[in-house]
A and B are shown apart, each in its own frame.
Chain A
Amino acid sequence: MSAFLDGLLTALQPGNLAALLAGSLLGVFAGAMPGLSSTVGLALVLPVTFALDPTPALLMMVSIYMAAEYGGSITAIAIGVPGSSPALATTFDGYAMTRRGEAGRALGISLFSSMSGGLLGTVVLVLALGPLSRAAIAFGPAEYFGLGVFGLSIVANLVGKDPFKGIVSALLGLLFFIVGLDVLTGAPRLTFGTNALMDGLGLVPMLIGFFAIAEALGAVTGRRRSAPPGGGIAGALPKARELFGLWRTILRGSAIGSLIGAIPGAGATIASIVAWNEERRVSKTPERFGTGVPAGIAAPEAANNSCVGAAMIPLLALGIPGSASAAVLLGGLTVQGVAPGPLLMTERSELVYALYAGFVVAVLLMLAVGRLGIPLWTRVVRLRPSILMPLVVAISLVGTFSLRGNAADAWAALFFGLVGFAMLRGGYPLAPAVLGLILGPMIETNYRRALSLSSGSHSIFLESPISLVLILLAAVSFAAPAVRSRLVSGRTRAPRPEPDTHDNEPRREEHE
């Protein structure tokens, strides 16, 4: 405890506090800008940290990482465009609340859940650094395949009114990930001899295309989103009672985020989608998810922020980055002469405790920065669509280009915008396609790796208890909506939930 207090005193020194505050501001901005993300924010600030001492450099980076996870929810809620991929699940209920004129309430719930998730993830980091890092390295190809299949089973809850078209959408998403070089053999697939396609179709251009450009094209064709109803900004914020009433949801989301975040390569996007799905599964009114329920925001936001602390577990304990952002952090640590691994705790304990305390301070600063920003964001959503949508497209394209300095990404965003527009017009939900693109690499690569280890025997997936449990959970998750629907409605077919607000008919009518 005294070591933690020493760490807290270090984190609160003026220079370190300034680094944490700068990180919070930049992190919220990077997270909120479609195309940017915590990874890009960290990469942008990396050269700045070279001039700093190790402690403020590390604190600034963890502050960016933490704040960006919240920042992604801002645009997801305000304009229906996830600022970064971990905020995808927040879009389902967050934007639906905004359309009801409850942007302030949704942003408040997101901020409180992000803060709680961030704090709980830090507690997990402090308490479970040893055991969880050992569990994380128990994940081999069979276990990752199980995790991927479990993640894909969530499609069953994202298919919208027409399950058949939802499945087609998921298959198209899986197909999009095929484009590019095969990870295991380096063979070009579906590149048609074009160098620009060798790197594949990225997730960010798909998110930008589906959620920003397709929407803008809808506005251009006259299917405009109506500005959300007005209302007092302060009055629209959630009450403390409502926030604390979400404690079970936040605990569940944080637990899921901590578990998945500690697995290298799994990531906050999968964690937040799994958390949203699990919350829907345990809910007494699952059919309301996707129509703007607070728990649909709290679960994914708690999960993606708790991932931040959890992703540090394999990084600090084993030197294995748990996410792309953690990989950039690893680069920053290396430049500072800090070598993560089993000896870090003994050789640089003062830095590790400053990091723990820095997480706590970063979460509190994120709360302050986020709270001050809510009035601004609730004004943004009330801009005229003829002004808002062009600005969203322009900043999305600039952000997409900034990701890798590659114009091909911006072209891919336009391609996905047209595909997304056509899919929406045909009644195909977009969320399953996004999930397919996210999980496709994990499923295919690890399936093939596992079978090469077992010389083609599928028993490898059943011999691993983790893989077996995940595959069984996936089967349950696939079947659950249909079973639940039959149980609830009897002979009358229950309406399918429509989590992706970009694909529902009422809104289409509203545009008309």
Chain B
Amino acid sequence: MSSPSAGGAARLRLLAEAGLLAVVAAGVLLDSRAYPGSLAEGAPGPAFFPRLLAVLLMVCAAGLAIRAARQPPDPDPGRSRGNVVGGSGAGRGVRLGLGAAWIAVFLLAWPRLGTLVSVPLLVAGLMWLTGERSRLALISVPLAFAAFIYLVFMVALGVPLPTGF
């Protein structure tokens, strides 16, 4: 079953991708203005390759925009990637944000709390977010993993991982 709104969503997605590529390319072009010239006569300087890539990305962005303009209605909106159905899409977005945020919190806390405290918390949090609800697993797996990291990386291999405090 086709739906104009589904086709519109796909078109919007393509336009967003095209816009993002164009912004990235423009940023590269702007940044490359500050690069110095070449060291040798006749040889390209450090700005050559970034500018070439930026131009190619601009061409790709234009291609995506043209593709968006020609986008037919999605034949199966329920399976369209990025097409949010009911509240599940929003829920996924929240879980994605929570997962990324949890990893970011771990990276911030790791030097302060140390490996033995922060790694089990990272594992337990991600297990919970991934749907694990067994209390035994949520406690035993992170602790066993922390012991593995400590014994193998820190003791046996002598890797200087953060110890905290």
Verify B107–A456 contact, CB threshold 8 A: no
Per-residue CB contact flags for chain B residues 60-84 toward chain A (1 = under 8 Å, else 0) read: 1001100100000000000101100
The docked-state distance in angstroms from the alpha carbon of A170 to that of B157 is: 36
Interface flag for A263 (CB, 8 Å)? no
Which residues in B have their C-beta under 8 angstroms from that of A451?
Answer: 40, 42-44
Interface flag for A211 (CB, 8 Å)? no
Count of chain B residues near A, Cβ 8 A? 69
Shortest distance between the CB of B130 and any CB in chain A (Å): 4
Given known contacts A220-B95, A401-B161, is B50 in contact with A456 (CB within 8 Å)? no
Shortest distance between the CB of B144 and any CB in chain A (Å): 10
Out of B32, B53, B122, B127, name the residue touching A174 (CB < 8 Å): B53
Given known contacts A221-B99, A398-B115, is B159 in contact with A390 (CB within 8 Å)? no
Looking at the complex, which of A94-102, A117-125, A348-356, A402-410 is the stretch in contact with chain B? A402-410
Closest to A191 in B: B31
Interface flag for B86 (CB, 8 Å)? no
Verify A402–B161 contact, CB threshold 8 A: yes
The docked-state distance in angstroms from the alpha carbon of A457 to that of B21 is: 32
Verify B157–A44 contact, CB threshold 8 A: yes
Given known contacts A190-B31, A394-B122, A427-B81, is B159 in contact with A402 (CB within 8 Å)? yes
The docked-state distance in angstroms from the alpha carbon of A28 to that of B17 is: 41
Looking at the complex, which of A151-159, A180-188, A357-365 is the stretch in contact with chain B? A180-188
The docked-state distance in angstroms from the alpha carbon of A224 to that of B129 is: 12
Verify B96–A397 contact, CB threshold 8 A: no
Verify B141–A391 contact, CB threshold 8 A: yes
Shortest distance between the CB of B31 and any CB in chain A (Å): 6
Given known contacts A411-B107, A452-B39, is B79 in contact with A386 (CB within 8 Å)? no
Verify A397–B106 contact, CB threshold 8 A: yes
Which residues in B have their C-beta under 8 angstroms from that of A178?
Answer: 28, 49-50, 53
Per-residue CB contact flags for chain A residues 142-183 toward chain B (1 = under 8 Å, else 0) read: 000000000000000000000010011001101100100010
Interface flag for A216 (CB, 8 Å)? yes
Verify A44–B158 contact, CB threshold 8 A: yes
Which residues in B have their C-beta under 8 angstroms from that of A192?
Answer: 31
Interface centre among B31, B39, B99 (most CB of A within 10 A): B99
Shortest distance between the CB of A433 and any CB in chain B (Å): 13
Looking at the complex, which of A128-136, A291-299, A413-421, A476-484 is the stretch in contact with chain B? A413-421
The docked-state distance in angstroms from the alpha carbon of A186 to that of B8 is: 47
Per-residue CB contact flags for chain A residues 263-290 toward chain B (1 = under 8 Å, else 0) read: 0000000000000000000000000000
Interface flag for A462 (CB, 8 Å)? no
The docked-state distance in angstroms from the alpha carbon of A189 to that of B54 is: 13
Out of A167, A187, A220, A418, name the residue touching B130 (CB < 8 Å): A220
Which residues in B have their C-beta under 8 angstroms from that of A449?
Answer: 43
CB neighbors of A among B26-68 (8 A): 28, 31-32, 35-36, 38-46, 48-50, 53, 56-57, 60, 63-64, 67
Out of A47, A189, A393, A398, name the residue touching B31 (CB < 8 Å): A189
The docked-state distance in angstroms from the alpha carbon of A68 to that of B106 is: 29
The docked-state distance in angstroms from the alpha carbon of A172 to that of B161 is: 32
Verify B46–A187 contact, CB threshold 8 A: yes
CB neighbors of B among A218-250 (8 A): 219-222, 224
The docked-state distance in angstroms from the alpha carbon of A431 to that of B139 is: 36
Verify B35–A189 contact, CB threshold 8 A: yes
Interface flag for B87 (CB, 8 Å)? no
**Residues of chain B whose beta carbon lies under 8 Å from any beta carbon of chain A:** 13, 17, 21, 24, 28, 31-32, 35-36, 38-46, 48-50, 53, 56-57, 60, 63-64, 67, 79, 81-82, 88, 91-93, 95-96, 98-100, 103-104, 106-107, 110-111, 115, 119, 122-127, 129-132, 137, 141, 145, 149, 152-153, 157-161
Closest 7 CB pairs of A and B: A456-B42, A452-B40, A390-B126, A452-B43, A220-B99, A386-B132, A182-B46
Known contacts A190-B50, A425-B82, A454-B42; can you find 15 more A-B pairs with CB under 8 A? A44-B158, A164-B67, A171-B57, A178-B49, A192-B31, A220-B129, A221-B95, A386-B127, A390-B124, A394-B149, A397-B107, A414-B107, A417-B100, A426-B81, A508-B81
